[in-house]
């Protein structure tokens, strides 16, 4: 094993160098504080590896995303979301027998205690759906006699997310709930529970169902992002899976994380309300002093085309064609896409449309309210959260997360009598 040499305050320290299976290099600083009294300072943890993981690999420079070695392009084209769930949670793509067993269990655990319906109905219809989802996860734990870390809990959270998401959508719309069916897959069940009619058989559009299946796969995991790290952080205290996932929902709700696709539609709406003057907003995006930036373009990790966006672009075209929609907002989106793919300013800076841009368009086409977009994100991401949580809990090096800090406050001082304080 190679070593890194560190000299600080006259002290020399050798630190192990860890190399990942894809050539990534990390310096193990676990002995740094004990050996030197120093800690690293890395605001936002942008250069800090918080764990060793075998779930997701990303190469942002090359536009690569793989789940356990499988390219996201192959999974989106050849696998169902249920197969990807099995891959993320149990390490391998399932055999037919394993897939049948998983589908049966997902159908079984999608049926939730009736008390959950009453709980959701007691909450304001005007509340943000992500607040309702976080509340629902914490409430869910109270209806079951469990330690919160069993295989049953994993299946209940996983399958129950589709049910909870559909219930939340219908609650906000003032509609009666539709219960899950065992004869539908994950995507089909969500669509029927959300948009079906009470007492009627499912009537699903194949193009829409396939697009949702792809969206779930593409959103399933994305390495140590804000919400996945939050799930791991909370789970490291041995908090239950329910509480850990609820914390992940809280992180995902932020506009800098899961709220990006909602921001895309809000931006498109602003363009429409301003007379549809797309050129004006493109010029504003090019002008740093304007303070305006186009939402849904570029990515913090990918310095090339987001591989998920390429897949969704095709799915988006199929959905729009299948539904035969004539929506001015979607027309603006398509024109903006063309500008970003052809304009030298955007191409030179690699500001390509990302996954949030196309997912927002698809959700808009399905008449999903803008404030439900992030719930749709969570619908797929919950599988990755659970995989991250399981990996963390089963890690032989498991320990509670406890970051350090560099204190920059006042040094020791005495308390003055209140009469002497200026």
- Please identify every residue annotated as catalytic: 299, 356
The structure tokens 């790290």 sit at 229
The CA-based angle 270-276-277, given to 5 degrees, is 100
CA distance 118 to 69: 43
Q: How far is 5 from 27, CA to CA, in rounded Å?
A: 10
CA gap 149, 238 in Å, rounded: 9
The alpha carbon of residue 40 and the mean position of all alpha carbons in its chain are separated, in whole angstroms, by 28
The rounded distance, in Å, linking the Cα atoms of 324 and 312 is 18
Residue with tokens 């406890």: 402
d(Cα 144, Cα 272) in Å, to the nearest integer?
48
Instruction: Work out the angle at residue 137's Cα, subtended by the Cα atoms of residues 254 and 100, and round it to the nearest 5 degrees.
Output: 110
Integer Cα distance of 236 and 353 in angstroms: 36
- Grouping H, G, I as helix, E, B as strand and the rest as coil, residue 325 is coil
| Phi, psi (degrees; rounded to nearest 5) at 68 | 45, 40
H or E segment at 230?
Answer: helix 226-235
Closest CA to 309 of 385, 210, 219: 219
Nearest to 203 by CA among 181, 170, 218, 177: 181
């Amino acid at each position: 094993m190679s070593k890194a040499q560190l000299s600080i305050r006259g002290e020399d320290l050798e630190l192990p160098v860890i190399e990942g299976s894809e050539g990534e290099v990390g310096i193990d600083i676990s002995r740094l504080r004990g050996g030197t009294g120093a800690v690293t300072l890395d605001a936002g943890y942008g250069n800090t590896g918080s764990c060793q993981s075998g779930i997701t690999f990303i190469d942002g420079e090359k536009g690569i995303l793989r789940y356990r070695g499988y390219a996201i392009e192959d999974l989106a084209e050849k696998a169902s979301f249920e197969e990807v769930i099995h891959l993320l949670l149990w390490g391998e793509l399932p055999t037919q027998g394993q897939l049948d067993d998983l589908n049966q269990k997902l159908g079984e655990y999608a049926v939730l205690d009736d008390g959950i319906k009453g709980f959701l109905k007691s909450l304001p219809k005007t509340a943000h759906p992500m607040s309702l989802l976080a509340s629902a996860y914490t409430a869910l734990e109270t209806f079951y006699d469990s330690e919160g870390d069993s295989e049953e809990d994993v299946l209940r959270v996983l399958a129950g997310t589709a049910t909870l998401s559909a219930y939340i959508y219908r609650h906000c719309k003032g509609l009666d709930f539709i219960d899950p069916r065992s004869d539908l897959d994950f995507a089909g069940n969500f669509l029927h529970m959300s948009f079906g009619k009470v007492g009627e058989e499912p009537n699903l559009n194949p193009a829409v169902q396939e697009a949702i299946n792809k969206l779930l796969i593409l959103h399933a995991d994305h390495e140590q992002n804000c919400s996945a790290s939050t799930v791991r952080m909370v789970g490291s205290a041995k908090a239950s899976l329910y509480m850990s996932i609820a914390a992940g929902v809280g992180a995902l709700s932020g506009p800098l994380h899961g709220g990006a696709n909602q921001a895309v539609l809000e931006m498109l709406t602003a363009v429409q309300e301003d007379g549809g003057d797309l050129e004006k907003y493109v010029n504003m995006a090019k002008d740093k002093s304007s303070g305006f930036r186009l939402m849904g373009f570029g990515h913090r990790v990918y310095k090339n085309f987001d591989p998920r966006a390429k897949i969704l672009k095709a799915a988006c075209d199929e959905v729009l064609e299948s539904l035969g929609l004539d929506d001015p907002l979607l027309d603006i989106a398509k024109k903006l896409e063309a500008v970003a793919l052809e304009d030298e300013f955007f191409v030179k800076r690699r500001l390509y449309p990302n996954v949030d841009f196309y997912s927002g368009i698809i959700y808009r086409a399905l008449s999903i309210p803008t404030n439900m977009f992030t719930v749709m994100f969570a619908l797929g991401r919950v599988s990755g959260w659970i995989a991250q949580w399981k990996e963390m809990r089963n890690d032989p090096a498991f320990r509670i997360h406890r970051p350090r800090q560099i204190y920059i406050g006042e040094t020791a001082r005495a308390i003055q009598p209140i009469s002497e304080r200026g």
